[in-house]
Structure 1
Amino acid sequence: MGLYEILEIESSASSADIKKAYRKLALRYHPDKATEEERHIAETKFKEISHAYEILSDEARREEYDFYGTTDGIHGQSHMYGEPDGNPFENFYGGGGQQYDPRDFYNFFNDMNGANGHRQSAGAKARTEDAEIEVDVTLEDLFKGKIIRTTSTRNIICTLCKGKGAKKNAVPKKCNTCDGEGIVRKIRRVGPGLVTQEYVDCSACEGIGKFYRTKDRCKKCEGKRVIEETKILEFEIVKGSHSGEKIVLSKESDEYPGKETGDVKLTFTTKDHPVFTRKGDDLYAKYKIPLVEALCGFSRVLVKHLDGRGIKVSTPPGKVIRPGDYIKITGEGMPVKNGSSGWFGGSSSKRGDLYIEMEIEFPTDNWYLERNDILKMKNLLPSAIKSKSDMSRQTVDNDSLPEANIEVFTDFTIAKQDALPDYKEDSPTPAPEEEHHNGYNGYNGYSGFDGSAQPECTQQ
């Protein structure tokens, strides 16, 4: 039934005629004027009238309906109920006289929707929406494992009527909107001169294809076919799990007759930890010690682990800790998670490693109390450089200087690594056979300020 037929007017009717017809039919089929038994039919008819008036009262949408049988995103009634009115591409491709039959294009777009035909698309079993939950967890939770419990309220199929929505012996009436099919066809424009179709649940009968009188409805669900259920859901976070992982409880979302039940999915994200940083299955931390302990050794608790244990490290006397060194403790990282859970899955006994980056705090300037302290320190610490090549490179022959031309600098500053200038490497790289020298790079066996290794000069 087309929109003009619903309003009981001709397709040539004026805007005033459409408005007049709508008012007349709206008063006739208003649900408030219907009896209890006929109210459902009146509601369905009233929806049809309102829908038809909504489209035909708008000039642009009416023009599109007259051309396509619908407007983009609005159900055109001539294409909503029953069988299709024919191939919508025939008007644009001229029928069977073309090299390709118009039905080829028609079937092509239906296949894009995942169906071999419109009936198969309409008959595909629907699924209720999945429920998504997001929670924040701590690094301790991922280290030790955690059970998250949450209260869930969902719809389940009515236990009294088993999803029928009515009493046991109630006789249903066929829905006139979808002709008892429970679905309606929607024609949607996908481009200039191109349309496609898709099927949706009938809004009048909520996809059932039939309805019951008010007095025949189920007393427990009041005809809704579902009731609410509250239960406790448990999500197990296995030891060694990673931030951003998802736990899925199958078929724990809302139920509805004729539809597959969706899942409940919980996604957990790890909050930043004040001490540890996780990289893969390894843990990283930082610890600062004074220079004297870096030279003479120490024995102390460096960190409190994620399970509450204190991690104590003792270095032997004479073991020198240098800036940037890491103390690696094997097997004290995160538990290594297996790919599955259950009797033969979950977390294994294997664990990653713990890396503690040692930062050395040097004494402040003028740290000595007496000048004799400097002499004592010089006598205690090695004063010679062990590398002969470094000694050779750094030793300057005074005889090679013209007239012993030596300039003494006492006014200087200490530059930190992160305070060095940012050099843009926009000059072309010299050819291999060319020699390239500047004031900083190219020292024999030393790296440049950017940290890249430089080739050693050949000794002559």
Structure 2
Amino acid sequence: MHGRGGGGGRSSRRSAASANVDTTKLYETLGVDKSATAQEIKKAYRKLAVKHHPDKGGDEHYFKEINAAYEILSDSEMRTKYDKYGLEGLEEGGGSGGAASEDLFSMFFGGRGGRRSAGPRRGEDVNHPVKVSLEDLYNGKTVKLAVNRQVLVGEARVCTSCDGHGMVMELRQIALGMVQQIQRACPDCEGEGYQCQKKKERKVLEVLIEKGMQNKQKVVFQGMADEKPNMEAGNVNFIVQEKDHELFKRKGADLLISKTLSLKEALCGFAWKVMHLDGREVIIKSKPGEVIQAEAAGGRPFVKCVPNEGMPSHGNPFVKGNLYVLFTVQFPKDGEIQPADVKQLRRFLPGSAMECDYDEDTAEVVHLENADVRSFGKGGVQNQDAAYDSDGEQASPQCQQS
């Protein structure tokens, strides 16, 4: 194709420079097209940043790539420069403050040409869940787990097909006089930039579950992931997954159990045996005269605690949380209290008896029936048609009983 006007020489030089550089890697890192809007780029970045954050078990190096790509593509001036000249143009122009802190080619390609890398990249981490009982998290435990990984055999050599880049560029004609530049992983080295022999290795690791560890906490074995040429091996992370316990519920270093008391126990005292997580028999007993309420102020559950009987604190197992007890008081059912018992209860229970004076000849005495609060507002005749029976006579309203 022929250039137009006096700017043809400058345009040719830029085209020649761009033909050998990558202008798609940053878009591929964020998983968007080159035509993506600023809003689409921002949305893709947020989604990837949450998914691959190191605190959630994500790969730290890939997380840095995501941030560097977004930092460049979210700046319209830098994005334009990258679209024309690739990463070379950004580095020669100074790049951005965050992205310039690490060599861009080392970050995305592991170094190119005569560029010096700040150090070998680190491979991806491997995460394995480990289901752990609450007893093991209380007492501590060592678990032996086997992992299979890939290790290198002998020396690795630079792939001649991609010159160690791991990526190859292809020009594909899409129309008359128009070509498209496509970047893909090198098929000879599978995108690693190096060729070498590999073998499988089985390694048994001793995973130490420390006292007081939290759910989703990591036990890290550095450099025990798959080996890759010219890269530092990633870590093997064992992620603690706390199993549910049939008696205790845990939050931080505190434990919670639920206990249902009879009205007699709530008023007169109680004692019950609890098998703790370390095998001790703990007797939880009320104090003389202590009364357990049906509920706390504001309708909240009534709770008491046993100090220092919770979980060990991770890092300082001698300091423990508290053991909370959530109480429910079960009142007697109809017919369980005899008239003779009522007289005794009135004698000993505090508070005045609910008695009132009335004239038996004029006052009307009524009694209570079972009811459902959901039926409130549904009494009486609800519509005009139901006000009369099948014979046309007015029907008398009936009380709803359950």
TM-score bucket of the superposed structures, by smaller chain: 0.5 to 0.7
Report the alpha carbon displacement of residue 276 of structure 1 after superposing the two structures with TM: 0.9
Matches of 2:134 and 2:179, distance apart in 1: 54
Contact 1:139 1:270 in 2 (8 A): yes
Change (3 A) 1:273 1:411: same
Q: TM-score, normalised by structure 1?
A: 0.50
Which amino acid in 2 is paired with 1:235?
A: V
Match of 1:122 in 2: 109
Contact 1:328 1:355 in 2 (8 A): yes
Match of 2:8 in 1: none
Contact 2:18 2:85 in 1 (8 A): no
- Structure 1, unmatched stretches of 5+, are 1-78, 90-98, 166-171, 212-223, 338-345, 386-393, 399-403, 424-460
Superposed, 1:25-424 pairs within 5 Å as: 85=19, 105-107=83-85, 121-124=108-111, 125-158=120-153, 161=154, 163-164=155-156, 175=160, 177-178=161-162, 180-181=163-164, 183-186=166-169, 200=185, 202-206=186-190, 224-301=196-273, 303-324=274-295, 325-337=302-314, 346-369=315-338, 371-384=339-352, 408-413=365-370
Change (3 A) 1:314 1:106: same
Match of 2:390 in 1: none
Contact 1:225 1:256 in 2 (8 A): no
Instruction: Report how many residues are paired.
Output: 281
**Aligned-residue CA RMSD (Å):** 4.5
Q: TM-score, normalised by structure 2?
A: 0.57
Matches of 2:294 and 2:78, distance apart in 1: 76
Report the alpha carbon displacement of residue 249 of structure 1 after superposing the two structures with TM: 1.2
Change (3 A) 1:256 1:354: same
Which amino acid in 2 is paired with 1:308?
A: G
1:206-255 residue CA offsets vs partner (Å, 9 max, x unmatched): 568787xxxxxxxxxxxx43333222112222211111222221110011
Change (3 A) 1:120 1:308: closer
Matches of 2:83 and 2:190, distance apart in 1: 32
Report the alpha carbon displacement of residue 312 of structure 1 after superposing the two structures with TM: 0.6
Which amino acid in 2 is paired with 1:363?
A: P
Contact 2:218 2:240 in 1 (8 A): yes
Matches of 1:293 and 1:208, distance apart in 2: 71
Matches of 1:100 and 1:144, distance apart in 2: 55
1:131-160 residue CA offsets vs partner (Å, 9 max, x unmatched): 2211221111211122222112212232xx
Q: Larger deviation: 242-251 or 312-321?
A: 312-321
* SS in structure 2 at match of 1:376: helix
Match of 1:74 in 2: none
Change (3 A) 1:335 1:226: same
Report the alpha carbon displacement of residue 406 of structure 1 after superposing the two structures with TM: 6.3
Change (3 A) 1:129 1:283: same
Report the alpha carbon displacement of residue 377 of structure 1 after superposing the two structures with TM: 2.2
Contact 2:144 2:207 in 1 (8 A): yes
Contact 1:107 1:117 in 2 (8 A): no
Contact 1:188 1:196 in 2 (8 A): yes
1:309-361 residue CA offsets vs partner (Å, 9 max, x unmatched): 12212223432222233231000011112xxxxxxxx2331111011122222
Matches of 1:237 and 1:103, distance apart in 2: 51
Superposed, 1:432-451 pairs within 5 Å as: none
Matches of 1:101 and 1:328, distance apart in 2: 59
1:53-87 residue CA offsets vs partner (Å, 9 max, x unmatched): xxxxxxxxxxxxxxxxxxxxxxxxxx9xx986367
Identity %: 28
Matches of 1:360 and 1:100, distance apart in 2: 68
Matches of 2:156 and 2:86, distance apart in 1: 38
Matches of 1:197 and 1:317, distance apart in 2: 83
User: Which structure's CA Rg is the greater one?
Assistant: 1
Contact 2:17 2:85 in 1 (8 A): no
Which amino acid in 2 is paired with 1:157?
A: L
Change (3 A) 1:412 1:274: same
Matches of 1:332 and 1:244, distance apart in 2: 23
Change (3 A) 1:153 1:372: closer
1:272-330 residue CA offsets vs partner (Å, 9 max, x unmatched): 111111122211111122222222112332x2111111221222343222223323100
- Structure 2, unmatched stretches of 5+, are 1-14, 24-76, 112-119, 173-177, 296-301, 378-402
Change (3 A) 1:291 1:261: same
Which amino acid in 2 is paired with 1:232?
A: V
Which amino acid in 1 is paired with 2:282?
A: I
Query: Larger % of strand: which?
Result: 2
Change (3 A) 1:421 1:242: farther
Change (3 A) 1:330 1:198: farther
Matches of 2:221 and 2:262, distance apart in 1: 52
Which amino acid in 1 is paired with 2:303?
A: Y
Change (3 A) 1:109 1:384: farther
